[in-house]
Amino acid sequence: MTAKLPNRRLLGLAAATLAVAAATATPVTAAPSVTSPTATVSPTSAAPGSRVSLTLRGCATRAARATSTAFGDARLAPATGDGTALFGSATVYNNASTGAHSVTFDCGDGSRITVSLQVTPGAARGGTGGSIGGANPALIAVGGTLAASALGAGVWVLRRRTRTT
């Protein structure tokens, strides 16, 4: 029996050595990283008539769409050649009800993500190009003087023309 005991130890040592050798000889491959898409709506709250920007990252496709009861369907496409992010925009319906609206981003490969858009009461802020606001009494006086001078010059030219003919 003493002759079998060293063989068992030797057999165990050989099995352990074989396991270590097999582990180091086999190349280790990392599992592909599966990330779920992320989406944003900017701004997160908008009034009816406002425009919102839509961004979708992590899609495996080069085109996607965003759907909401606040604006309908919007197409998303890459803005750069690498296509790591998809971009689009949409205008909130003028008759959109106030409150939270779901925005569902669909990659087209079956992956979807939903975010929220808050529709606030009021109307979209439009630009006036500086035509309203910033007026002070001095500017009003200068404008009134110029308008009166132009009117007076026009009347003088017309009266002079009728006298000479």
Residues 89-123 pLDDT 10s: 999 999 999 999 999 999 888 889 999 999 998 76
Is residue 41 within 8 A of residue 102, CB to CB? The reply is: no
> Model pTM?
0.55
- pLDDT, residue 117, reads 94
Within a 10 A sphere around the Cβ of 55, how many other Cβ atoms? 18
Tokens representing 12?
Answer: 């165990």
- In CATH terms, the fold of domain 38-119 is Immunoglobulin-like (2.60.40)
β-bridge mates for residue 74, sequence order: 66
- pLDDT, residue 58, reads 86
* Residues whose CB falls within 8 Å of the CB of residue 162, separated by 6 or more in sequence, listed in order: none
